[in-house]
Amino acid sequence: MLDKYIMLVEDNVDDIELTLRALTKANILNEVIVARDGEEALDYLLSPEKDAGKMKHVMPVVILLDLKLPKVDGLEVLTRLRADERTRYIPVVILTTSKEDQDLLNGYRLGANSYIRKPVDFQQFTEAIKQLGLYWLVLNEPPPRFKKRDYNDNPT
């Protein structure tokens, strides 16, 4: 369904381009909202306008989150998303080059739904993105309140 949006939180221009190319190659045509640092992602997802019911953005059905971000790092972004009722149940897939076991443990401890280390090989990366898209955009059943474009709707 093309009304399901993906948010990519990534500061590396090459990785943004690679992810967008991999999505296209995997025939995932959903719109991708790109935030280039953690602060931009939080501003988009947790802006005060949303509190007042003045929806200026659509909410993504899945967030692809890098860990090593400027301004606010990925683990802090994840912490703040899980602490807010509006974003608590949006699936977050950590998509990172980090090989640190502590990052892996902290990601899951803070509420990540999945943790994927970015393969260097484009074919492997494309296959990983294809599988992510199939699962999170087609197979996964989101909580009722996130099935509608306006996340402020009451659950059905």
Question: Which pLDDT tens digit goes with each residue over 32-74?
Answer: 999 999 999 999 999 876 544 445 578 899 999 999 999 999 9
Residue 142 lies in a domain: no
* Those residues with Cβ within 8 angstroms of residue 37's Cβ, 6 or more apart along the chain or in another chain: 9, 11, 69, 70, 71, 72
pTM for this prediction: 0.83
Residue range of the domain that includes 125: 6-137
Distance between CA atoms of 93 and 63, rounded to whole angstroms?
6
Number of domains in the chain: 1
Residue 111 lies in a domain: yes
Residue 149 lies in a domain: no
Q: What is the CATH number of the domain that holds 27?
A: 3.40.50.2300
Determine the average pLDDT of the residues in 18-26.
Answer: 89
| Of residues 22 and 53, more confidently modeled | 22
Q: Is the pLDDT of residue 95 over 50?
A: yes
Residue 97 lies in a domain: yes
| Of residues 60 and 145, more confidently modeled | 60
Q: Residue 74 in contact with residue 96, Cβ under 8 Å?
A: yes
